[in-house]
Structure 1
Amino acid sequence: MRAVVYRGRNDVAVTEVPEPKVGVGQVRVRVDFNGICGTDLHEYFDGPIFVPTEPHPLTLDQMPVVLGHEFAGTVVEVGAGVTDLAEGDRIACEPVYRCGKCAPCLAGRYNICTSVGFHGLSTDGGMAEYTVIDQIMAHKLPDGVSTELGALVEPMSVAYHATMLSDATADGTSVIFGAGPIGIGLWFALRGRGIEDVLVVEPSSVRRAAIERLGARTVDPTAVDVPALVADHTHGRGVDAAFDAAGVRASVESALLCLGPTKALVSVAIYDRALETSLLQLVLREARIQGTLCYTGDDYRAVIDLMARGHYDTTGWVEQIAMGDVLAEGFEALRAGQKMKVLVDPTR
């Protein structure tokens, strides 16, 4: 079968690999769509970062790997011991490997397992015609949710989980820095949780236009003093929640100035270089920076439920490409800012 194989920095190619075989407690999935994630871009241009260069403690695999952790498809084979899935089920994959024994796992926070791994990074993933996953990773999609939307459950769950770690309230104001796919996901998540007063800060006119078409109120930080605007908008109270989905110093510093007392800046970005910034605003306001990593099954179920109710809209920011175009129309185009969100279709 064809798959997108990662062999190191700037070394990704579509190639033929053996079809994966189903083991006990596993299912084989025919992949319909697989999203290219910001993490995939970091691996390609700056990695290896999350892709192991020696055997991973849970998967025992290492580079090279088939990429792809944002995917949905159809179950075509079930292994021994699988009870909740059948051939023909359409699923979205929750690609987290966990040990089940460490303190975070025992507390139900397996997303921060001390040995955490990811399908499509720590082992062969879904940017392929077929992939095999543990049954615990499969979330069935309701009839009204397409597999195109299903491939977005993973990044939308990243965003949803981040909002659950915030102090966002329905009667307060939230601000999002960055209107890429995660920024859009944050906006959808907040709105889905009944939080209406949301500002999205984004310097790119293309990205501002994309999220504005969905109904968001945007701010251009190159033309407006964002903390001053927020202070005026909130009558000096500041925001209940700020989210950094941009991953640059300017967004972090501006976000800290927007925070109300005791509130949190939730960091949803991947920082590929060190950020130097003053923590004085945290001290003066007893505010904090909150980290967030991926999601749990609760976030997946919440996002899928919102999708079933028609809450998510892909208009203007999601597009599909053939697997053979994954470099030029995928990695390179995303890096250049020519596209927002790309789903790879292995059947094309």
Structure 2
Amino acid sequence: MKAAVYYGPNRLEIDDVIEPEPGPGTVKVKVGFNGICGTDLHEYFAGPIFVPTKPHPLTNRQLPLTMGHEFSGTITAVGAGVRGWSEGDRVAVEPIYKCGRCQPCRAGNYNVCQQIGFHGLMSDGGMAEYTVVPADMLHRLPENVSLELGALVEPMSVAYHAAALGEAGAGDTALVFGAGPIGIGLWFALRGRGVEDVFVVEPAATRRQAIEALGAKTLDPTQSDVPAFVSDHTAGAGADAVFDAAGVTPAVRTALACVGSRKPMVSVAIYERPIETPLLNLVLNESRIQGSLCYTAADFEAVIELMAAGIYDTTGWVSRIALNDVVGEGFEALHAGAKMKVLVDPAI
């Protein structure tokens, strides 16, 4: 079968590899779509970062690996001991490997497992025609949720987890910094959780236009004094929750100037460079910075439920490409900013 195999920086090859078969406790999935995310880009252009160069403690796998951890598909074979799943079931895959023994795992917070692994980063993943996954990674897709949307459950769950940590509700004001895929996901998640007063702060005109077409209210930080706007809009109270999905110093500084008293700035970005954090506003307001990593099964189920209710829309920001085009039309195009979100279709 065909698979996108990662060998190191700037080396991702479409190889013919052995088609996997399920063992005990696992299922074989025919991949419908696989998304390319920011982590994949970091690995391709600057890695290996998370991809292990020696056997991972939970998967025993190392470079080279088939990439892809954001995917959906259809079960084609079921391994011994698997219950509740059958051939033909359509699924989204929650790609976390967890140890089950460390303190976060014992507390139910396996998204911060001390040995965490990901299918498609620490094992062969979904950027292929088929992949084999443990049955406990599976989430059933309702009939009205397409495989295309199903491939977005993973990144949208990253955003949903952050939105939940922000604790904003009906009647609150929220700000999202960055209108990339996670920023868009935050906007969807907040609205799905009943927060109507949401502003997305984004300097790039194309990204503002894309999220505006979905119905979002936006602010251009190069043209507007965002903290002054928020202060006026909230009668001086500040935002009830602020989310950084941009990962750059100007966004963090502006976000911290907008957050209200005893309210959070939730960070769900990857920071490539150290950021100097102005703490005075945090101290004076008793506001806080909250980190957010990945998701849990509850986030996956919440996103799937919202998708079934029609909350999510791929119009204008999601592109689809063939597996053979994954480097040029995928990684290179995303890195250049020519596309926002790319789903790889292994069937074409």
Is the shorter-chain TM-score for this pair beyond 0.5, marking a shared fold? yes
Q: CA deviation at 1:15?
A: 1.1
1:85 aligned to 2:111? no
Secondary structure at the aligned position of 1:30 is classed as strand
CA distance in 1: counterparts of 2:292 and 2:15, whole angstroms = 34
CA distance in 2: counterparts of 1:13 and 1:248, whole angstroms = 31
TM-score for the superposition, normalised by structure 1: 0.99
Aligned to 1:247: 247
Aligned to 2:304: 304
Code of the residue aligned with 2:203 in structure 1: it is P
CA distance in 2: counterparts of 1:283 and 1:40, whole angstroms = 37
What are the Cα deviations for residues 168-213 of structure 1, in whole angstroms up to 9, with x where unaligned?
A: 1211100000001000000000000000000000011100000001
CA distance in 1: counterparts of 2:126 and 2:45, whole angstroms = 20
Code of the residue aligned with 1:20 in structure 2: it is P
Q: Which runs of 4+ in 1 moved over 4 A?
A: none
1:123 aligned to 2:123? yes
Code of the residue aligned with 1:332 in structure 2: it is E
CA distance in 1: counterparts of 2:20 and 2:274, whole angstroms = 39
Secondary structure at the aligned position of 2:115 is classed as coil
CA distance in 2: counterparts of 1:140 and 1:277, whole angstroms = 41
Aligned to 1:15: 15
Aligned to 1:227: 227
Q: 5 Å matches for 1:253-332?
A: 253-332=253-332
Q: CA deviation at 1:276?
A: 2.1
RMSD (Å) for aligned C-alpha atoms: 0.8
Q: 5 Å matches for 1:128-207?
A: 128-207=128-207
Q: Which sits farther off after the overlay, 188-197 or 55-64?
A: 55-64
CA distance in 2: counterparts of 1:227 and 1:117, whole angstroms = 39
Secondary structure at the aligned position of 2:171 is classed as coil
Aligned to 1:208: 208
Q: CA deviation at 1:21?
A: 2.3
CA distance in 2: counterparts of 1:124 and 1:168, whole angstroms = 37
Aligned to 2:112: 112
CA distance in 2: counterparts of 1:192 and 1:311, whole angstroms = 7
Aligned to 1:340: 340
CA distance in 1: counterparts of 2:280 and 2:18, whole angstroms = 55
Secondary structure at the aligned position of 1:331 is classed as helix
Code of the residue aligned with 1:134 in structure 2: it is P
Secondary structure at the aligned position of 1:262 is classed as coil
1:218 aligned to 2:235? no
Q: Which sits farther off after the overlay, 266-275 or 87-96?
A: 266-275
Q: CA deviation at 1:278?
A: 2.1
The alignment covers a number of residue pairs equal to: 348
Q: Which sits farther off after the overlay, 279-288 or 238-247?
A: 279-288
Code of the residue aligned with 1:183 in structure 2: it is G
CA distance in 1: counterparts of 2:259 and 2:178, whole angstroms = 16
Code of the residue aligned with 1:74 in structure 2: it is T
Q: CA deviation at 1:63?
A: 1.0
Q: CA deviation at 1:107?
A: 1.1
Secondary structure at the aligned position of 1:27 is classed as strand
Aligned to 1:3: 3
Secondary structure at the aligned position of 1:239 is classed as coil
Q: CA deviation at 1:46?
A: 1.8
CA distance in 2: counterparts of 1:256 and 1:46, whole angstroms = 30
Q: Which sits farther off after the overlay, 196-205 or 16-25?
A: 16-25
CA distance in 2: counterparts of 1:225 and 1:327, whole angstroms = 39
CA distance in 2: counterparts of 1:290 and 1:10, whole angstroms = 34
List runs of 5+ in structure 1 lacking aligned partners: none
Secondary structure at the aligned position of 1:344 is classed as strand
CA distance in 2: counterparts of 1:221 and 1:174, whole angstroms = 16
CA distance in 1: counterparts of 2:173 and 2:82, whole angstroms = 45
CA distance in 2: counterparts of 1:274 and 1:12, whole angstroms = 29
CA distance in 1: counterparts of 2:209 and 2:135, whole angstroms = 40
What are the Cα deviations for residues 137-159 of structure 1, in whole angstroms up to 9, with x where unaligned?
A: 01110111110000000000000
Q: CA deviation at 1:288?
A: 1.2
CA distance in 1: counterparts of 2:17 and 2:240, whole angstroms = 49
Secondary structure at the aligned position of 1:163 is classed as helix
CA distance in 1: counterparts of 2:64 and 2:331, whole angstroms = 18
Q: CA deviation at 1:277?
A: 2.9
Code of the residue aligned with 2:327 in structure 1: it is L
CA distance in 1: counterparts of 2:239 and 2:104, whole angstroms = 30
Secondary structure at the aligned position of 1:170 is classed as coil
Code of the residue aligned with 1:86 in structure 2: it is S
